[in-house]
Amino acid sequence: MTGVDMAEQPSKSTIRRQINDNLRRVYEDALNEEIPDKFKDLLDKLRDKEGRE
């Protein structure tokens, strides 16, 4: 190996769990982010346009 004992390396299931936890955390953070004002303005314009049609 690269100078690290096999006993010191985490198992594949541990690595997968860490990746899964990190992906969930990033996803949750993205869901909780505020929508930028620019996008809110665009959505308002689209709604106004749909309401007139």
Rounded distance between C-alpha atoms, residue 49 and residue 47, angstroms = 5
Average the pLDDT over 36-47 and give the result.
96
- pLDDT exceeds cutoff 60 at 20: yes
Average the pLDDT over 14-25 and give the result.
98
Q: Is the pTM of this model over 0.85?
A: no
Question: What residues contact 10, with CB distance under 8 A and at least 6 apart?
Answer: 18
User: Which pLDDT score, from 0 to 100, does residue 4 have?
Assistant: 62
User: Which pLDDT score, from 0 to 100, does residue 53 have?
Assistant: 75
Nearest to 41 by CA among 33, 49, 30, 52: 49
Distances, alpha carbon 18 to alpha carbons 8, 23, 29, in Å: 16, 9, 16
Average the pLDDT over 16-30 and give the result.
98
